[in-house]
Amino acid sequence: MKITVCSTENSLYQDSFDIEGGNFNKAGIVSTRIKSILKQMGLPADVVRKCAIVSYESEINVVSYAKKGVINLTVNPETVLIEVVDEGPGIPNIDLAMQQGYSTADQKIREMGFGAGMGLCNIKNYSDIFHISSEVGKGAHLLMTINIKQ
């Protein structure tokens, strides 16, 4: 499931971050990294905030549901792209998964304060453009675009 999200020519920053499935102790480390990178680059506070939130909910989903995943972060002059690719069961019914309140989360995920079926809605709401696709048995793919200039 390789998708080329942009030409890297004009991008100001690009990096990839691995996420370990099932490891709740580390859940959030990648998003925290991403947040501090964007902050250091001097991006507006609301842009950093949106990117941090969508990264974090995505990271929680990879940890919760997938075997492993990667977040590809690309900062262009006018947009931030956050791509999340995971290897796992995938999402059989995306319309259902996107519904607020739909969740297959287990007790462990709920104890962490997630698993109320709001994650994907939050990700969509904080993104300017949101794409989700999945191949059942292979994994899920999310692509979020956050505009730097409103």
Ligand X SMILES: Nc1ncnc2c1ncn2[C@@H]1O[C@H](COP(=O)(O)OP(=O)(O)O)[C@@H](O)[C@H]1O
Residues binding ligand X (CB under 6 A) = 61-62, 64-66, 86, 88-91, 97, 102-105, 114-121, 140
User: Which among 4-12, 65-73, 115-123, 132-140 is the span making contact with another protein, rule CB under 8 A?
Assistant: 115-123
Q: How far apart are CA 34 and CA 40, in angstroms?
A: 10
Q: Please report, for residues 20, 120, 127, 128, 134, the alpha-carbon distance to residue 131 in angstroms, rounded to integers and kept in the order given.
A: 22, 11, 10, 10, 10
Strands of the sheet with 129-135, listed across from one edge: 13-20, 68-75, 79-87, 139-147, 129-135
> Helix (H, G, I), strand (E, B), or coil: what is residue 34?
helix
Chain residue whose CB lies nearest Mg ion: 119
User: Which among 3-11, 75-83, 118-126, 137-145 is the span making contact with another protein, rule CB under 8 A?
Assistant: 118-126
Quick one: 13 or 24, whose CB is closer to another protein? Answer: 24
Q: Which residues bind another protein (CB under 8 A)?
A: 24-25, 27-28, 31-32, 35, 45, 49, 52-53, 56-57, 60, 100, 111-114, 116, 118-119, 121-122, 125
